[in-house]
Amino acid sequence: MTDMNTPVSSVCILGGGSAGWLTAALIAARHCTPDGSGLSVTLVESRRIGIVGVGEGTWPTMRNTLRKVGVSETDFLRFCNASFKQGAKFAGWRTQSPDDFYYHPLVLPEGFPSLDLAPYWNAQMRDDPATASFSDAVCFQEALCERDLAPKLITSPEFGGLANYAYHLDAVRFADFMAEHCVTKLGVRHVVDEVIAVEQADDGDIAAVVTREHGAITADLFVDCSGFSSLLLGETLGVPFRDCNDVLFIDRALAVQVPYNDAGAPIVSHTVSTGQKHGWIWDIGLQNRRRVGYVYSSAYAAGSSVEAELAAYVGPAFDRLSPREITIRSGHRETFWKRNCVAVGLAAGFLEPLEASALVLIELSADYIAASMPATRSAMEIVARRFNTMTLYRWERIIEFLKLHYMLSERDDTAFWRDNRDPATIPQALQDQLELWRHAPPGEQDFSSAHEMFPAASYQYVLYGMGFRTDPRFAAATLRDPDAARDAFDRTTALKRRLAATMPTNRALLDTLAQHRFQPV
């Protein structure tokens, strides 16, 4: 029987990859000590189990995570073949017309939230449908992305820039990079072995993971980063999986690695998401290659037709590539922390890679575990309840936000797009929000939790990019300061002109970084 007053002094993380090593880094950076008097952290992984590798897009939060665990941005970018990401471009999601695209940038609209430009832009659209797109009118970042420009200069400090940014990265090399840092700099014990059994205490707690060569590895807290198998939380503790395929239809991905035509080929500054007949294609640029994948619903399309669409997108080079199929089970565990086990990453759940939620959920979960590390087994019960409430809220909001991209489409060419507009597949909370947003733009009043995943500005970018309109006649009270709005629009125009003339391309900056370093902080 577990002594509830026993201090928590050891953590065992089962599984490597991005989830395992990010979790190890955040916990160890906060709790391990050079003399060994702090928390002990052990990571157990099998070399037989590969990395899924679809989590190659990050959020700006990754910059703070890397800085927090003591990583150099220069070294990270070099080792992981990483590049800068300034948002996402969605093409062909609304009408399939030649000009059917919009951006979800990583920079907030000018003046937001003290000044909300959405009502003024909606009024302009009513009077002049040829008005610039919402993202281009209220934010300078679309102009940078369209020119493949970087968000910073070689003279910028590490993790700092002139525009908000995240990264695209090689997930396999990232796991290796973090493993090296954790073991050599943070004191994490690394055990490479096969887990052949899981031992439980009489009260149901996990007592140990039993390995083939190292025997039983005990710990006070176990973090399940075992991937889709969810060996500890799902298989051992029996926490059920909650499907959300009634809302999000994607259940397959066909992915390829596409080499550049030449060493000087442009590196895009954003994720490109292009709508297809039965899903969409992602396209991200690293330093040495592109990662391209078609995520789709097998209920609407056979693999052969999907491969043909992907081949048409990639071009002649596709014949020399080896596509990899990945099965996606959209959803999450009903609870994420049970007894002395918490799941992070794929062991907790997975959704399609739209809006790159996989890695940020790992970051947020691992950071919370590190910051709220329970002192005793008794305190763990309280931390677990809070973690479960917070994490469930985050999953629900992500699911709603992803559905928003689909349900606003006007595409009528396939059943996949038509069925995504069926009200029966749209969460009621999202339907309620849309009814309110017909009369007033998304604002901070719509998102009151400290655990929101997407700010009101993100909803504005997607809503108005997909053709949704807020009738300004019902928002007259928000149009009371036209001079301030005009100044904000003018500042955006000036910023676009100045930055377009001064910023290097993504490729040029990363080439320079091979010889020089960013300024240390």
CA distance 316 to 295: 20
C-beta separation of 338 from 384 below 8 A: yes
CA distance 421 to 409: 8
Residues pairing with 197 in the sheet? 210
The 3 state secondary structure assigned to 226-245 is CHHHCHHHHHHCCCCEEECC
Closest CA to 163 of 184, 137, 146, 145: 145
Closest CA to 338 of 221, 195, 429, 443: 221
What burial letters (b/e) apply to 392-423, b meaning 16+ CB within 10 Å?
bebbbbbbbbbbbbbbbbebeeeebbeebeee
The 3 state secondary structure assigned to 243-304 is ECCCCCCCCEEEEEEEECCCCCCCCCCCEEEEECCCEEEEEEECCCEEEEEEEECCCCCCHH
Any long-range contacts for 125-129 (C-beta under 8 Å, 24+ apart)?
125/469, 126/469, 126/471, 126/472
Q: Is the peptide bond before 113 cis (omega within 30 degrees of 0)?
A: yes
Annotation says 85 is catalytic: yes
CA distance 252 to 300: 11
CA distance 200 to 190: 22
CA distance 363 to 365: 6
Tokens of 166: 């995240």
Give the β-pairing of 206-211 and 87-91.
unpaired
Give the β-pairing of 279-285 and 271-275.
antiparallel
Which residue of the set 85, 89, 152, 403 is catalytic? 85
Tokens of 126: 């009513």
3-state secondary structure at position 492: helix
Residue 361 CB partners (closer than 8 Å, separation 6+): 345, 348, 394, 395, 398
CA distance 512 to 291: 23
C-beta separation of 460 from 118 below 8 A: yes
CA distance 395 to 403: 12
Indicate which residues carry an active-site annotation: 85
